[in-house]
Amino acid sequence: MRKFLLLSTVFIVVCFFNLRLAYEDERTPNIEGEWSITINFISGVAHHIALIKVKGDTLSGVYKGQFKEGTLRGLIKKNKVDFTGYLKHQATHITFHYTGTIEGDTMKGTVNMGEYWSAIWTARRVYKREKE
């Protein structure tokens, strides 16, 4: 009987630990903050900045291109990200629709720019030193 109780306890602990690991894998990563985005076009590279705020599964913030600044809107679900950066240019907007995955302090995927085709992108979280 004592052996049965011991084995039962070990089984429960192992099951709890496995459930906890599964739950942690299902959590949505925190991507709030500043990200440096590199876009690899067929004929060159561009560098943009995304200042992301997160509320639930909704993303908002500021999107900065090389010469323009606009807004950012999107969604996050588990390790998947889907957001659009809008840059106003004269009477129109240029949109950068990003889809991809999150892996720690990096993101990667494809960006669709409508009539300007699509490209591969990677992003890394930018760390800033706190003022003393």
CATH number of the domain that residue 51 is part of: 2.40.128.120
**According to the model, what pLDDT value does residue 13 have?**
53
Structural domains of the chain, count: 1
Res 9 pLDDT > 90 = no
15-29, 60-74, 83-97, 117-131: which has the minimum mean pLDDT? 15-29
Query: Is the residue at 16 inside a domain?
Result: no
Res 84 pLDDT > 60 = yes
Residue 65 or 10, more confident: 65
How far, in Å, are 63, 64, 131 from residue 100 at the CA level?
17, 19, 33
Q: How far is Cα 12 from Cα 122, in angstroms, rounded to an integer?
A: 42
Which among 36, 34, 39, 28 is positioned nearest to 109, based on CA atoms? Answer: 39
Please state the length of the chain.
132
**According to the model, what pLDDT value does residue 91 have?**
82
The pLDDT of 104-116, averaged and rounded, is 93
Query: Is the residue at 47 inside a domain?
Result: yes
Whole-model pTM? 0.75
Q: What is the mean pLDDT of the chain?
A: 84
**According to the model, what pLDDT value does residue 128 have?**
42
Sequence-ordered list of residues with C-beta below 8 angstroms from that of 107, at least 6 positions apart, any chain? 31, 35, 81, 100, 101, 121, 122, 123
Q: What is the pLDDT of residues 21-42, one digit of tens each?
A: 444 456 889 999 999 999 999 8
CB 123 within 8 A of CB 106: yes
Which among 129, 107, 102, 122 is positioned nearest to 48, based on CA atoms? Answer: 122
Query: Is the residue at 14 inside a domain?
Result: no
Query: Is the residue at 53 inside a domain?
Result: yes
Query: Is the residue at 38 inside a domain?
Result: yes
Q: 88-105 burial, b for 16+ CB within 10 Å, e for fewer?
A: eeeeeebbbbbbbebeee
